[in-house]
Amino acid sequence: MSYQAMPQRHRGLAPLVVVLAVLLGSVIVFIQSHEFYFWDDSAAVFLPTWYTVGTDLWQGHWPTLRPDLWMGGNLAAEAQFGLWNPVNLMMMMIVAKIPDMAVSAFIIKAFWQVMLAMGGFLLAREYGAKPWPAAAMAVALPFAGFTLYYDTSSWIAGLMATVWTAWFWWAAHRVLNGTLNPFIGFIFGYLLITNGNPYGALSAVIVLMGLALEAVLQKHYRALWKLVLMGGLVGSTALVAYLPLLLSSDVGWRTTKGIINDGFLAPNSLMLMATSTSSMLPNIVIWTGQGSSVPVTYSAWFMLPILPWLNWPILRTKVKQMAGLWLFFAVYLLLVLGPSQIWLFRWPVRLLEYLWLTLFVIIAVVLSHGLRTSAWKLRAAGSFFIIFVGAVLAFLMAHELVGRHLTALAVQSVLVALMIFLALKHERFLPGLLIVGTLTTLVLQIIWVPYNDDVSKWWFPSDTAVADYGERIQGPVLQIAEGGLSPLEERGQASEWLLFGNIPAVSGVESTASYSGIGFSAFSVAMCINHAGSTCDLGLLKAFRIVRDTDVPVVDAMRINTIVVENDLVKYAPEYEPPMGWRKTESNDWVTIFVREEPLDWPDSRLSIAEGTSVASAVSTDTSDTLTVSTEAIGGSLTFARLAWPGYRAEVNGEQVPVSTNAIGLVQVDLPGDLTDAEVNVTFTVPGYNIAVPVLVVAVLAAAAQGLFVAKHARSRREEASE
């Protein structure tokens, strides 16, 4: 029985099998490694930020700036959190209601794994694949090496971008074919763009280019204009997602770098030749040197061995219909094998999942036309030769794992033998074998490699209910520590006192140890602090030095109440005698803690320095400071414990006054002289929103108008046809 001849009721089960199989795979991973989904950047930034923003949303506050997160607090400019994406916002609100972040990470990421699989399934079906071949390919998508061990485990924004790419591609293809209203296509495009991952924006452009090529080749010019209008409106929504990032980049690290080819996280063709070998750990350049600890270039156990059996000649009849797929594949293959950075896009390994998405769809389409079994012995020899070469390459790249490679080869050989048997005797059962083989291989991989050892291993506490960090530590905190210094086996204990990234915010503690993708260069240099909150050993001395052009120490300018010093980083910390006004309260195996003895002035404000100025009142919110001040004849200045991101504006009695950046990157406002009880307002507005938001409104209205026009026109044609 062929795929075409399968009973309709069986074909209707395919999407359900996809969902259940992917969920089963997600559960297998979670059972084997409870921290798998709460790892690296997911643990340091995504989950704690989602929790924090979600809490704000439940309280009726939509946060674009959180000054208490310091370098990580410019949420709008960070882009990757997707503040304009309704799905992201709902996800954050869900995370805020789950007390254990490892559990919430599993729930959220399992959802996105299912969404990726279903997006791939629908896209394959849209290009003509039968349900069961599409299902087999779809189940493999979330468990490809990079997708699972990097994007799902750590860089979740990348996974979401791939998900929305598949769904947008499906929707845009249907718009082109006239089977979906363009407003629905616009919605999926909007979700892709406002997810905030620039690789998603890149994929949207290439998807639209591919579909435009299909339209031209098939001479569907009227449909092309419909697609072009929808695509242009989708593109205009990028302003709300990325314009704040671009306008804030001058103060941070995210500057354009042209083309760099240092080989970092750049796979090569040799690695792709073993993409179906589950034990292959590619000799790719990573942060710790040469050689990955995870099967990052793995696609699926059947990807290469099934190629000799596919009915490739049928593609000659689908050249025009599948032109977009081939264009997408060609572009991403070049990017994967290209330089390690082109403009803002770095680390080509990130593009593998887009390559696999395209290949899986192509294979699903070809597989739907049945396998070629002529000269079956030669084809079988080809399949076994492919997996043997993969095993040899895997051995050469990690020869110390010979036992693992032999096991992987044995299991894959059995699966390939079964694949050949089914191809010859019972082809209709082949998709089931592909799915079972995918899950079997996943079990082996997650046993061999329970987590990604290439990236940061924080071992943070995940249970927000029992993490009593906030009960021991009073913020704001200046943490002087290095995230990778504690031995791995001791980091769980050390995290009772040392928390990096945005984890302190979950406990309600303001800390300089936040995570930032864009950074703030002046503050980073002044405090010797990196993207995840790690510092150098000079941090304690820097904390008490005087801010240039003032007589105020740095800790006062930042309104710091507690200094947490890692003893292994600052060896003299336990014996250090702090300046007057500070005292040592704790010294243990991990840290020495110093606290302020007397509270600072202006407790309801982020105001920290008032030079030549008398302050009668001062109140702050996340995005504003309101003060009543008086100045001497020569004028004065105010300094706030806020990083001076672009977007700040200051007014005195309604008249604008200059806003500048002090020596350590804080907001400073210069005041005119002879003020008496003057009202000072310092406000932050996200740069670019004055342009981006109106453009977004126009785009949504225009997309709705296009949708209504197309729907009305389609209804008119149906009425004419029925007469």
Nearest alpha-carbon partner for 395 in 271, 281, 536, 562: 281
> Using CA atoms, how far apart are residues 190 and 182, in angstroms rounded to an integer?
12
Which range among 204-208, 296-300, 435-439, 453-457 shows the weakest confidence by mean pLDDT?
Answer: 453-457
pLDDT digits (tens, 9 = 90+) for 472-491: 899 899 999 999 888 888 88
SS3 assignment, position 415:
helix
CB 149 within 8 A of CB 295: yes
Largest CA distance in the chain: 97
Cα end-to-end span (Å), the chain: 42
Instruction: Report the candidate in 608, 670, 665 with the shortest Cα–Cα distance to residue 637.
Output: 670
- pLDDT higher than threshold 80 for residue 145: yes
Distance from chain centroid for Cα 431:
31
pLDDT digits (tens, 9 = 90+) for 343-384: 878 899 999 999 999 999 999 999 999 999 999 999 999 999
Instruction: Look at residue 168 in the predicted model and tell me its pLDDT.
Output: 99
- Mean of per-residue pLDDT scores for the chain: 95
Tens-place pLDDT, residues 315-328: 999 999 999 999 99
Residue 446 clears pLDDT 80, i.e. is over it = yes
Half-sphere exposure of 593 (CA within 13 A, CB side): 19
Query: In sequence order, what DSSP letters do the residues of 321-370 get, joined into one string?
Result: TTHHHHHHHHHHHHHHTS-SEETTEE-GGGGHHHHHHHHHHHHHHHHTT-
pLDDT interval class at 97 (50, 70, 90) = very high
With a cut of 90, say whether residue 496 has pLDDT above it. Answer: no
Residue-wise over 304-336: b if at least 16 C-beta within 10 A, else e? bbbbbbbeeeebeebeebbbbbbbbbebbbebb
Nearest to 468 by CA among 489, 491, 490, 495: 495
Q: Is the pLDDT of residue 12 over 70?
A: yes
Closest by CA position to 168, among listed 186, 151, 181, 156: 186
13, 430, 468, 471, 606 from 508: Cα distances, Å = 47, 53, 10, 10, 17
Nearest-angstrom CA–CA distance, 383 and 419? 10
**Residues forming a β-bridge with 679:** 628
Asked if 344 contacts 197 with a C-beta cutoff of 8 angstroms, the reply is: no
HSE-CB at 43 with a 13 A cutoff on CA atoms is 24
- The per-residue pLDDT for range 608-641, each reduced to its tens digit, is 999 999 999 999 999 999 999 999 999 999 999 9
Angle, helix 131-140 to helix 14-32, in steps of 10 degrees: 20
Model confidence pLDDT, tens digit, residues 119-138: 999 999 999 999 999 999 99
Across 533-647, the runs of DSSP E, i.e. the strands, are 562-566, 582-587, 591-596, 607-611, 613-620, 624-631, 636-643
pLDDT of residue 345: 87
Q: 479 near 555, Cβ under 8 Å?
A: no
Give me the mean pLDDT over the 207-233 stretch: 96
Neighbour order of strands in the sheet with 345-346? 259-260, 341-342, 345-346
For residue 662, which of 639, 686, 689 has the smallest C-alpha distance? 639
**Which tens digits make up the pLDDT trace of 220-229?**
999 999 999 9
* In contact, 598 and 563? CB cutoff 8 Å: no
pLDDT at residue number 487? 87
Q: Do the bridges between strand 582-587 and strand 562-566 make them parallel or antiparallel, or are there none, so unpaired?
A: unpaired
Confidence of residue 412 (pLDDT cuts 50, 70, 90): very high
67 and 642 Cβ atoms separated by less than 8 Å: yes
